[in-house]
Amino acid sequence: MKHKIFSKSEEQDVFTDLLFNALLGFAFMFAIAFMLINSSEETGNIRSKAEILISVQWPDDHPDDVDAIVEDPQGSLVWYHNRDSGLMHLDRDDRGNLADNLNINGEVVSNPINQETITVRGLQSGEYIINLLHYKSNFKEPLPVTVKVEKLNPSVELVYYGEHFLNGVGDEMTALRFYVDSQKNISDLNQIPKRLITKALGNK
């Protein structure tokens, strides 16, 4: 058997062909991989979902501590000792003027706003109850507290806005009760009193 002897130019041509095919294969694999990777805009787009936003607010710079306690139709409670419960979450637990001053890079930054916020990520059929608890009191005068409830989907809708007055440590009051039907419609708003703190402490 005779072996073919390649000239120097032929050897260069073979090497060039191999190199070209290798580069072509690499480019093909790179193109496939690129198509399978999501764009940075899509991967960085985190959509937060909430159906109801509950805001409880009292005067700025006030030293008193007010807690919101919310019960869902399943009887689950969310409050400062239980920040996550079912589809509810306590986003902000405000303790009056405690920890309002923060030292950031040597500069003291103050947040005078007193506000607690609770989000309901999914609506269940049944009754929701929003209570206020005067956890810490520094004065004899009644403390004005506003409660705002907003339905966020499909567009922002004000469900309730009202002012209530708390009268010292341990004072608990029902700010709002409302019903949600199977179509996520809200109705039957009322303030029929129901204590929740005893149940909350029992589940602590």
Domain regions of the chain by residue span? 8-43, 52-202
Task: Please give the pLDDT value at position 201.
Answer: 85
Q: Lowest mean pLDDT of 24-28, 91-95, 120-124, 199-203, name the range.
A: 24-28
CA 164 to chain centre: 25
Class of the CATH domain delimited by 52-202: mainly beta
For 170-193, the pLDDT digits (tens) are 999 999 999 999 999 999 999 999
Task: Please give the pLDDT value at position 39.
Answer: 42
SS3 69: strand
CA 76 – CA 80 distance, rounded (Å): 14
Residue 177 CB coordination number (10 Å): 18
For 58-98, the pLDDT digits (tens) are 998 899 999 999 999 999 999 988 888 889 999 977 664 55
Task: Please give the pLDDT value at position 42.
Answer: 43
Task: Work out the burial of residue 63: count CB atoms within 10 Å of its CB; fewer than 13 is exposed, 13-18 middle, 19 or more buried.
Answer: middle
Q: What is the 3 state secondary structure string of 92-154?
A: ECCCCCCCCEEEECCEEEECCCEEEEEEECCCCCEEEEEEEEEEECCCCCCEEEEEEEEECCC
Do residues 42 and 109 touch, judged by C-beta distance below 8 A?
A: no
Mean pLDDT over 115-142 rounds to 95
Q: What is the phi-psi region of residue 75: left when phi exceeds 0, alpha when psi lies from -120 to 50, beta otherwise?
A: left
The residue among 50 and 5 whose pLDDT is bigger is 50
